Amino acid sequence: MQAITILGATGSIGASTLDVVARHPDLYRVHALTGHTRVDELAALCARFRPRVAIVGNAASASRLAALLRAQGLDTEVGYGEAALCAVASAPECTAVMAAIVGAAGLKPTLAAARAGKKILLANKEALVISGQLFMDTIASSGATLLPIDSEHNAIFQCLPLAYRRQPQQHGIRRILLTASGGPFLDRALSTLDDVTPEQAVAHPNWSMGRKISVDSATMMNKGLEVIEAHWLFGAAPEQIEVVIHPQSVIHSMVAYADGSVLAQLGNPDMRTPIAHALAFPDRIESGVDPIDLARIAQLDFRQPDYQRFPCLKLAFDALRAGGSAATVLNAANEVAVDAFLNRQIGFRRIPDLIAQVLDHLPHCAVESLDSLLEQDQLARECAQQLLRA
């Protein structure tokens, strides 16, 4: 039986993971659940799944959670803060870690799981975007197992040879094709994008996601971050990675081979499919997702992305090619910009402008340690905040 730690249990990925886990009580048990400040939700999850440990973001939340659990007669241990997150991610009792904390906040606990040699179900793309080489080196040296949860990267993983080891040329791989829905503004007039509201930006046409990721999907920064993630996961050069807009979100991604074959993974847009695949790999288990009905879908459309409509995608490709700290700066600036948009400080089209300004202000540099990466991350956030105040 696998003992699962879920980093980010109160988010959408956490909810989907627990749904799959609940379907297979003979295969999985929950070791630890973490949230941040959503204490009531975390308490309800603890009551249902009885984890050994629950972690929140600060002392006040921990005190409140502990009181709620005591009132229910639960003996779940409560902790808080980054050190506690790292501890549950690397605990000897834990065999698998769902890394689903959004943003740079998930980096250190995910690295802790990697150092401890855990089976890592990676839904936090920022861990690779910020610390790609460091993260992959840690996976290799510890013997950890890395399984991608993003629907696109999980699809690519399923389309690759079982023995694939980040060397496309040795397996006749010509291209990796990441599909993208195009988000809610794919066909909206460019002249009206200045008027986009946060409510409109988070209304994704196909997927149910958190607010930050939904905005990233609307700007296609989410796809840009996935391009960088694909580079590190699969060893593909930037010119081997292509983004294809596919509004139906039925084909989750594809791999093109030298013989002309293109392998694709299809399924309904539901994150329980990649989660179930990774939890059970190399076996298959029931996920709760309805089988796809191709006759009902009837049509699959594809188009190339437009950088004028989606400048964030170009910024991500440029950062990947630049190397060094560029991707770290890109990600940090984007987090600040999206937060400012959600709080109505800036307009929708100001998001890529702010990111580009930060990249211009902080030329990329070589990074060789986690401390230097985190320093660049902090500098980018400070620069973005200064530009917001200007």
- pLDDT of res. 206: 67
- Residue written as tokens 């070791």? 31
What pTM was estimated for this model as a whole?
0.91
- pLDDT of res. 367: 81
Mean pLDDT of 102-108: 83
- pLDDT of res. 163: 87
* pLDDT above 90 coverage of the chain, percent: 83
Homologous superfamily assigned to 2-148: NAD(P)-binding Rossmann-like Domain (3.40.50.720)
CB 303 within 8 A of CB 245: yes
Candidates 326, 330, 348; CA nearest to 338 is: 348
Is the predicted pLDDT of residue 205 greater than 90, yes or no? no
pLDDT digits (tens, 9 = 90+) for 174-183: 999 999 999 8
pLDDT digits (tens, 9 = 90+) for 32-45: 999 988 999 999 99
What angle is formed at CA 23 by the lines to CA 209 and CA 103, rounded to 5 degrees? 25
pLDDT digits (tens, 9 = 90+) for 125-143: 878 888 899 999 999 999 9
CB 378 within 8 A of CB 335: no
Q: Where are the alpha helices (DSSP H) in 323-349?
A: 326-342
DSSP string, 38-72: -HHHHHHHHHHH--SEEEESSHHHHHHHHHHHHHT
Is the predicted pLDDT of residue 244 greater than 70, yes or no? yes
- Residue written as tokens 């009580």? 25
pLDDT digits (tens, 9 = 90+) for 316-339: 999 999 999 999 999 999 999 999
- pLDDT of res. 207: 62
Contacts of 63 (CB under 8 A, 6+ apart): none
The domains of the chain are located at 2-148
- Residue written as tokens 């950062």? 319
Q: For residue 208, what pLDDT band results from cuts at 50, 70 and 90?
A: low
pLDDT digits (tens, 9 = 90+) for 281-294: 999 999 999 999 99
CB 381 within 8 A of CB 334: no
